[in-house]
Amino acid sequence: MTGHPETAPPTCTCLPPWPALATIIEGTTHPVVPSPAHTHASALYLAHCTGCGTAYTGSWKRLTPSFRAA
């Protein structure tokens, strides 16, 4: 035990929680989704809920644009 109190992770106040996530990289907003492991970007940048603005401290990955024809 280190004597430091455990802090709870931030809580999203949206219903349902964490409806959409985004991060800002070099001034550009990117949509992101939760990921089982950290990526290079999630190790350097913080994502947030697009609804309430709460910081998302879990690992995430950027969504890639879809170029499929309709």
What is the model's pTM?
Answer: 0.74
Q: How many domains does the chain have?
A: 1
Task: Judge whether 3 lies within some domain.
Answer: no
Model confidence over 20-38: pLDDT tens digits? Answer: 999 999 999 999 999 999 9
Task: Judge whether 31 lies within some domain.
Answer: yes
Half-sphere exposure of 33 (CA within 13 A, CB side): 4
Q: Which domain holds residue 29?
A: 21-62
Cα end-to-end distance, the chain, whole Å: 57
Task: Judge whether 69 lies within some domain.
Answer: no
Task: Judge whether 26 lies within some domain.
Answer: yes
Question: At residue 5, does pLDDT exceed 80?
Answer: no
Helix H or strand E segment including 41:
helix 40-44
Model confidence over 47-61: pLDDT tens digits? Answer: 999 999 999 999 999
Average pLDDT, the chain: 85
CB 32 within 8 A of CB 60: yes
**4-8, 16-20, 22-26, 41-45: least confident range:** 4-8
